[in-house]
Amino acid sequence: MPGKKPSLDLVARNDPDQLKNLLLVLEHAHADAWLRRDRRALEALLAPDFLEINYFGRFTRDDLLVRFFPRMVLHTFTIEDPVLFSVGAGNATLTYQCYEELTVDGKKRKGTFHVSALYGWNGKLWKLLLWQITPFSAT
């Protein structure tokens, strides 16, 4: 339609710099949902078939939201040196280093990690499909 601006999501799909920036915004929203203990905000970012692989195991979307979310409190999370990889039409991966401090089941942990976040375009929004965090150094 004349005069109608394309959505940011649509523009980002065709511009690697804008896509990287958009996925960074989504990763910050992901961390913010954990920091604020906002389960609904976290749930809104995840694809129905979402999978997380972390220090404590492998979690489906429901496992993460029902079993793991109540056990974990995130205190600090940083995103450093992000890199965007295009995985094909409608998919992209953002990798970065992070520093996090958290408490799980009453035990405090902190460290530097490598994160790979795979996003998929569902026709309307970018949704998080797979989030994997691997320790560089953790205590």
Q: What is the pLDDT of residues 94-124, one digit of tens each?
A: 999 999 999 999 999 999 999 999 999 999 9
Measuring CA to CA, which residue among 136, 124, 126 is closest to residue 94?
126
Measuring CA to CA, which residue among 59, 79, 80, 81 is closest to residue 70?
59
Evaluate if residue 3 carries a pLDDT over 60.
no
Distances (CA, A) of 98 to 5, 25, 88: 35, 15, 25
C-alpha–C-alpha distance, residues 29 and 87, integer Å = 22
Domain boundaries, the chain: 8-138
Evaluate if residue 38 carries a pLDDT over 50.
yes
Global confidence as pTM: 0.86
C-alpha–C-alpha distance, residues 47 and 131, integer Å = 11
| CATH number, domain 8-138, options 3.10.450.50, 1.10.3720.10, 3.30.70.260, 1.10.246.90 | 3.10.450.50
> Stretch 5-28: mean pLDDT, rounded?
76
